[in-house]
Amino acid sequence: MATQTQTQTHTITTTIATSSDDDESLCCEMNPPLSLTSLSSPTVSPSRCLSTDIDSHVERAWAHWRKLGQPKLIVAPMVDNSDLPFRMLCRKYGAEAAYTPMLHSRIFSENEKYRSQEFTTCQEDRPLFVQFCANDPDILLEAARRVESYCDYVDINLGLVPWIGSLVGFLAFDRDELSVQLAMSFHLGGLALAKTPGYVIRKTVVYGCIHEPSGNQTCCPQRIARRGNYGAFLMDNLPLVKSLVQKLAQNLQVPVSCKIRVFPDLQDTINYARMLEDAGCSLLAVHGRKREEKDQKKIRANWEAIRAVRNAVRIPVLANGNIRHLDDVQSCLEATGADGVLSAESLLENPALFAGFWTAEWVVDGEEIGEDGKLDQAELLVEYLKLCEQYPVPWRMIRAHVHKMLGEWFRIQPQVREELNGQSRLTFEFLYGLVNRLRELGVRIPLYVKHMDDGRMPSSGSIA
């Protein structure tokens, strides 16, 4: 990873907007903000899919993928969680590519404040997928054109489901005591959770809503989902999906990728994947769960369906679902034949997953599976905080990562979590102090490494 002095964060604009809510404000000043035009544009492979020649489309798709080094270990898109500092942390620990959080194409096209806060990147943040949700090809293209020079794929989210926000609420704030700020704009899901016995909401901050320039919160994903026009709801409108993909494939210089969920019927999934490939999609990430399958941890992803897609299309395919540690990566690649994997939830807890570090949860008692890897989540959190000082993000994202990385530690010393929840205005000093408090209280949960056959410890996430 590049040193601090060598690295500069850039945003779409030089304007840094602030919000009245403490968690909405950036954790520090942009450093120094640059406009996109002041950075050298990376070279991108022309991906124009002007002809109907599927052979040359597939050839170009592979040439591009090979040029990127065929990354296998990839940070999945996560609203409010796959932020630039988090991506950079994961890259340091073995991730070979990363997705941005999903961006809303229309708001991205229209709203400078949204662009400047929600899309940040830097020269080391490559290969990079920039993901959009969309329901209008022209608007999607307009948004995509703004980022195409700074990424390796423009990705279309065809798997967004409305409940994901309540899941974010879960992730960001501890299950045992949801003294919550409801994450994202998915407050309806969060409120449903609040009605669940045992959960108490002391403070509700609805944030992450996509604010119209007028200040109205008219585009929160719940409403979008209800209209049935975005994400996984596009599975009911395949002609629209096709037009979104074609529009980008025919007009962008950078290739278009798609992230999909599977249909209940395997043949429908296969037809869907083939349609996307024919429309000009150059890479397909398949989340092996159905639209209705909400509990990602309880419901196993369907790797057989991913394998069927892999066999049905000729472009690179990525598998998503059930990647909890490095052994899962190997098993998934073997089971699906996919060209790489995405991991989401497990990476939030353990950003060093791709470097071969395991959380204690997966270390089976008595099997001598691992030893203390001399790295723990508090150290990873400190690294993340330092990256946030370098690449500013809103405090709400930092707060979510603190809860995820230190969730198990807080279970041992819940009063430290209380301190965090009681702090409406975060500072780096407070957060570094929080880590020190946990250490002083004697909390330490190591990350483990598996014994290698030759006695080495894994230090990178390379997969054969």
Ligand X SMILES: Cc1cc2nc3c(=O)[nH]c(=O)nc-3n(C[C@H](O)[C@H](O)[C@H](O)COP(=O)(O)O)c2cc1C
C-beta of 457: minimal distance to ligand X in Å? 25
- In the set 72, 104, 259, 450, which binds ligand X (CB under 6 A)? 259
Q: Which stretch binds ligand X (CB under 6 A): 318-326, 327-335, 354-362, 437-445?
A: 318-326
- In the set 12, 30, 84, 164, which binds ligand X (CB under 6 A)? 164
| Residue keyed to tokens 């390796």 | 152
- In the set 19, 31, 296, 462, which binds ligand X (CB under 6 A)? 296
Give the DSSP letter of residue 40.
P
Compute how many other C-beta atoms are within 10 angstroms of the C-beta atom of residue 271. Answer: 14
Q: Directed axis angle between helix 266-279 and helix 303-312, to 10°? A: 40
- In the set 76, 206, 402, 443, which binds ligand X (CB under 6 A)? 76
Q: Which stretch binds ligand X (CB under 6 A): 165-173, 206-214, 233-241, 375-383?
A: 165-173
Contact 41, 54 (CB under 8 A): no
- In the set 33, 159, 190, 316, which binds ligand X (CB under 6 A)? 159
Q: Which stretch binds ligand X (CB under 6 A): 36-44, 66-74, 161-169, 446-454?
A: 161-169
- According to the binding rule CB under 6 A, does residue 171 interact with ligand X? yes
- According to the binding rule CB under 6 A, does residue 394 interact with ligand X? no
Nearer to ligand X, 159 or 340 (CB): 159
Say how far apart CA 291 and CA 348 lie, in whole Å.
22
- According to the binding rule CB under 6 A, does residue 377 interact with ligand X? no
Contact 287, 159 (CB under 8 A): yes
N-terminal to C-terminal alpha carbon distance within the chain: 22
Whether 220 is a known active-site residue: answer yes
| Residue keyed to tokens 């005591």 | 177
Provide the token pair at 252. Answer: 């962008």
| Residue keyed to tokens 């489309």 | 57
Say how far apart CA 74 and CA 236 lie, in whole Å.
28
- According to the binding rule CB under 6 A, does residue 288 interact with ligand X? no
Q: How many residues bind ligand X (CB under 6 A)?
A: 25
C-beta of 13: minimal distance to ligand X in Å? 22
Name the percent of the chain in helix, strand, coil, to the closest 5.
45, 15, 40
Contact 141, 63 (CB under 8 A): no
CA geometry: angle at 397 spanning 256 and 30, to 5°? Answer: 80
Spell out, one character per residue from 330 to 369, where the chain touches ligand X: x when CB under 6 A holds, - when not.
-------------xxxx-----------------------
Give the DSSP letter of residue 363.
S
Q: Which stretch binds ligand X (CB under 6 A): 24-32, 194-202, 246-254, 320-328?
A: 320-328
The three-state secondary structure class of 318 is strand
- According to the binding rule CB under 6 A, does residue 380 interact with ligand X? no
C-beta of 445: minimal distance to ligand X in Å? 21
Bond before 264 cis per omega within 30 degrees = no
Nearer to ligand X, 159 or 373 (CB): 159
| Interaction residues for ligand X, span 114-153 (CB under 6 A) | 131
Give the active site residue among 49, 220, 281, 388.
220
- According to the binding rule CB under 6 A, does residue 320 interact with ligand X? yes
Q: Which stretch binds ligand X (CB under 6 A): 160-168, 240-248, 352-360, 441-449?
A: 160-168
- According to the binding rule CB under 6 A, does residue 78 interact with ligand X? yes
DSSP letters for 234-263: GGG-HHHHHHHHHHHHHH-SS-EEEEEEEP
Provide the token pair at 360. Answer: 């204690």
Say how far apart CA 76 and CA 344 lie, in whole Å.
5
Nearer to ligand X, 157 or 269 (CB): 157
Nearer to ligand X, 132 or 391 (CB): 132
C-beta of 165: minimal distance to ligand X in Å? 9
Contact 130, 104 (CB under 8 A): no
Footprint of ligand X on this chain (CB under 6 A)? 76-79, 81, 101-102, 131, 157, 159, 164, 167-168, 171, 259, 287, 296, 320-323, 343-346
Active-site residue set: 220
